[in-house]
Amino acid sequence: MRKFRLFKLILLTLFFFKIFLTTSFSENETPAIISYDLETESKLWETLDKNLKEKKQKEQEEQRLKQAQEEQRLKQAQEEQKQKERDKEIALLSKIFPENEASIIVKINNEIVTSYDLIVEIKYLEALNPSSINLSQEQKTKIAKESIIREKIKTNEILKYYKLEQDATYINKIIALNYNKLGLKNDIEFSNHLSKYDLTIDEIKRKFEIEASWNKLIFEKYKNQVEVDINKIKKKLKKEESRLNKQEIFLLSEILFNAENKEKLNKKYKKILESIKKIGFKNTANIYSISDTAKFGGSVGWIKKNQMSKIIINELSKINVGEFTKAINVPGGLFIIKIDEKKVNELEIDFDLELKKMIQFEKNKQLTQFSSIYYKKIKNNIKINEN
């Protein structure tokens, strides 16, 4: 009993001592506990922020992946649509021009043109004048066929005098001039543009070379017949010199056409006017114009007012931007000119440079007329059989 009381006393003593120690410890350690809680809370926020960032990055990555997949799907869908259009085009052409012998669409003397040549030509013309893609297949076929015939006739004539593929540097300059007309800056942009039509620069180089060689042939044949009244041009330039610092310039398109006689010429003119109403000026130029600008929808480019003849200036003064002139008589046919855009440039005039440009413009105009006359002459002596 006595031992039990002693044991009980010891336990009570230990209990109060424990309470005392715990209280003292708690009072002394309060700052540490608070510090610990703040540090823990800070780490929790850091962990939460990190988790949120990782989640956001993951969502962004998933979004990028989803977007890339969607772009790939759209690209694939576009390619499939293009292929369907190509297959449809080929199928339609196959109906018009069946296999083997029937695939010959035209014979120029003894040279044949196939339905495959026609398909390539359609793509080529669409690449140079994208608006022509909206034409009917029948219209595209007609334009392409005429374009091939012109090219074959010119090629046969050129080969009597020159060999092709002689001057790569010059041809590259010609290519650059042509893709600039499309608003493209370099070979890469042009190559990307052509790839949309399943074409390459190498595939169309020969076409540009033929046009350049044809112009060279016309120049050599007719350069002595080109008559430019330099004094008359000088007088005109001096008369306008004071006003040339505010030079009016025009972005023009053209349709040049001809026919065997006046009756046929009037009929063709009516057809052209009807066509312009239905499918627009550019597409009509593709179909009816015999000028080299036809493949570009008749686009001539920017021309200064003082470079044009009085007849053309007079006709242009009668119309507004977006309108076109009545037919203007020129050697070799009739011209219709459309004003695509008009503006006034403020320039410092170099008289000699301006004179040189005006003389060259007049020469080019006459050479274009000689080109039309010469082409018509050689075409009349060529046997053309169309299927």
Domain boundaries, the chain: 97-222, 241-351
- Pairing status of strand 328-330 against strand 111-114: unpaired
Rounded to whole angstroms, the Cα distance separating 167 from 188 reads 21
Residue with tokens 């989640």: 55
Question: Of 58-67, 114-123, 318-327, 346-355, where does mean pLDDT reach its minimum?
Answer: 346-355
* Average pLDDT of the chain to the nearest whole number: 78
Residue 322: the pLDDT is 92
| Helix residue ranges, H only, the chain | 2-96, 115-128, 137-158, 168-181, 187-195, 201-222, 230-240, 262-279, 281-288, 310-316, 351-379
Rounded to whole angstroms, the Cα distance separating 215 from 321 reads 31
Question: Binning pLDDT at 50, 70 and 90, where does residue 80 land?
Answer: low
Rounded to whole angstroms, the Cα distance separating 273 from 205 reads 34
| CATH number belonging to domain 241-351 | 3.10.50.40
Question: Binning pLDDT at 50, 70 and 90, where does residue 337 land?
Answer: very high
Residue with tokens 């016309």: 218
Rounded to whole angstroms, the Cα distance separating 274 from 11 reads 120
Residue 252: the pLDDT is 93
Rounded to whole angstroms, the Cα distance separating 223 from 202 reads 31
> Phi first, then psi: what are they for 112, rounded to 5°?
-100, 155
Per-residue pLDDT at 11 exceeds 50: no
Per-residue pLDDT at 31 exceeds 60: no
Rounded to whole angstroms, the Cα distance separating 78 from 132 reads 19
Per-residue pLDDT at 52 exceeds 70: no
348 by DSSP, 3-state: which? coil
* pLDDT > 70 fraction of the chain, expressed in percent and rounded: 76
pLDDT tens across 176-201, in order?
A: 888 888 888 888 888 889 888 888 88
